[in-house]
Amino acid sequence: MAKIVVQNLTKIYGDEPRKALELLRDGYSKEEILTRTGQTVAVGGISFEVKEGETFILMGLSGSGKSTVIRCINRLLEPTTGSICVDGKRVEEMDKRELRAFRGQKIGMVFQQFALFPHRTVLDNVAFGLETKGVPKGERYERSEEILVRVGLAGWKAKRPDELSGGMKQRVGLARALAVDPDILLMDEPFSALDPLIRNEMQEELLSLQQRIKKTIIFVTHDLGEGLKLGDRMAIMRDGRIDQTGTGKEIFSHPANDYVAKFVQKVDVTRMLTAEEIMIQPGEILNLLEGPQLAIRKMELCDTDYIFVIGRDRKLKGIVWVKDALKLAEKGEKGIQGILKQADTVHPTTSIEDIYLRMGRTGRSLAVVDGGGNFMGAVTARSILSLLAEGRKGP
């Protein structure tokens, strides 16, 4: 279900928006409108929906209108025209009282610049939103301390912002937004000012936090890699308009125009693939009831030194290595139970990056197993190599 619906949103800076709107309707560009009227079209009529629990990315170069959109959603800026619905309620029609409740409870915002109170402690900064909501002091601090633990700042509550690093300040900002437990988080380039390592760390933490808290998030970034990593879907903005909306994969495989194609071509597409998409069906697999002789023959057939073993129920039971099977066959044993080893497994949705890491460590093939333990396929060194070869050819 759509949590946020934005329709035909425009925001024009200047004292004669009507003139600019007319030209906009007639198809004039942002630049032409500026020269003719002196009005800046920050947002030139955009529509999109964000689903409940989704992380939606607004992506675009500097000046494309991302911050303006996000600030119209909680009406830090008044839209010039258009409508914004949150949970079916029109934000632009809210009166002062409704707006205060909306901002205080439903929506939290994290900015690029930390926007912390310099003279307050970390704890007081986090508790600020609860204070304005009239939550009693004891409860306020209790909740804020909990949130500080969640964002990894438990020991820092008595410090002041200038005693913290950039990454930590941003955690305080996030904690402050989360303290009031809003349904929606608006995040405007929250990690852009951080250096790459800290930034990566913060991204990972947001991902794992989001798995637990499942907020609806609009996340602004001009970094495509960050957008792909964090987002379920994204909108690519240019000059106040949206060129394309979709999942990263959709946008990569079918860019709507040359601009989008250029914008995304820098990113390595293979990075977005998952185990499910690169796995192969092994030439042979062994049934739990089959013996070492057959195991050896099957391994010879597919020229491997291992074979995955499954039960009648298609569930993965383990792996058998050829050296163990040979020993067993020599002894004349019939069952393979004794040499069955635990196989390295990955989930169908495991990212290629994680697969690289896992295989890099062991060099072994990985069995792809779903949540129910069913064997789905295998990721082998060969499947990775062929993928790299394909990548070479280019799109």
Report the interface residues with ligand ATP, using CB under 6 A: 13, 40, 42, 60, 62-68, 222
d(Cα 154, Cα 286) in Å, to the nearest integer?
51
DSSP line for 251-273 = HHHS-SSHHHHHHHTTS-GGGG-
CB of 75 to Mg ion, least distance (A): 17
Tokens at 227, concatenated: 């957008």
d(Cα 378, Cα 387) in Å, to the nearest integer?
14
CB of 61 to ligand ATP, least distance (A): 7
CB of 33 to Mg ion, least distance (A): 20
CB of 12 to ligand ATP, least distance (A): 9
| Comparison of 113 and 132: residue with beta carbon closer to ligand ATP | 113
Tell which one of 64, 67, 170, 380 touches Mg ion (CB under 5 A).
67
Q: Which of residues 276-335 bind Mg ion (CB under 5 A)?
A: none
Tokens at 80, concatenated: 């010039």
Tokens at 154, concatenated: 């438990």
Q: Using CB distances below 5 to 8 A depending on partner kind, what does residue 304 bind out of Mg ion, ligand ATP, none?
A: none
Q: Which of the stretches 63-71, 319-327, 337-345, 357-365 binds Mg ion when contact is defined by CB under 5 A? A: 63-71
| Comparison of 107 and 130: residue with beta carbon closer to Mg ion | 107
| Comparison of 55 and 67: residue with beta carbon closer to Mg ion | 67
Tokens at 256, concatenated: 């709507």
| Comparison of 64 and 125: residue with beta carbon closer to ligand ATP | 64
For Mg ion, the nearest residue by Cβ is 67
Q: What single letter denotes the amino acid at residue 354?
A: D
Side-chain half-sphere exposure of 373, counting CA atoms within 13 A = 11
d(Cα 341, Cα 283) in Å, to the nearest integer?
20
CB of 38 to ligand ATP, least distance (A): 11
| Comparison of 223 and 344: residue with beta carbon closer to Mg ion | 223
Q: Using CB distances below 5 to 8 A depending on partner kind, what does residue 60 bind out of Mg ion, ligand ATP, none?
A: ligand ATP
Kindly tell me the sign of the dihedral angle through the C-alpha atoms of 288, 292, 294, 296. Answer: positive
DSSP line for 295-322 = HHHHHHHTT-SEEEEE-TTSBEEEEEEH
CB of 395 to ligand ATP, least distance (A): 27
Contacts of 298 (CB under 8 A, 6+ apart): 284, 285, 286, 307
Contacts of 162 (CB under 8 A, 6+ apart): 118
| Comparison of 76 and 357: residue with beta carbon closer to ligand ATP | 76
Q: How many C-beta atoms lie closer than 10 Å to residue 145's C-beta? A: 17
The contact mask relative to Mg ion for 353-382 (x = CB under 5 A, - = no) is ------------------------------
CB of 30 to Mg ion, least distance (A): 16
CB of 3 to ligand ATP, least distance (A): 22
Q: Using CB distances below 5 to 8 A depending on partner kind, what does residue 65 bind out of ligand ATP, Mg ion, none?
A: ligand ATP
377 pairs with which residues across the strands?
A: 368
| Comparison of 66 and 140: residue with beta carbon closer to ligand ATP | 66
Instruction: Give CA separation, 278 vs 98, 150, 200, 294, 371, in Å.
Output: 50, 35, 25, 28, 18
| Comparison of 239 and 324: residue with beta carbon closer to ligand ATP | 239
Nearest to 369 by CA among 347, 342, 341: 347
* Cβ(93)–Cβ(268) below 8 Å: no
Q: Please tell me whether residue 102 adopts helix, strand or coil conformation.
A: helix
CB of 241 to ligand ATP, least distance (A): 11
d(Cα 314, Cα 392) in Å, to the nearest integer?
36
| Comparison of 10 and 216: residue with beta carbon closer to ligand ATP | 10
Q: Which of the stretches 61-69, 178-186, 207-215, 367-375 binds Mg ion when contact is defined by CB under 5 A? A: 61-69
Q: Using CB distances below 5 to 8 A depending on partner kind, what does residue 17 bind out of Mg ion, ligand ATP, none?
A: none
Q: Which residues bind Mg ion (CB under 5 A)?
A: 67
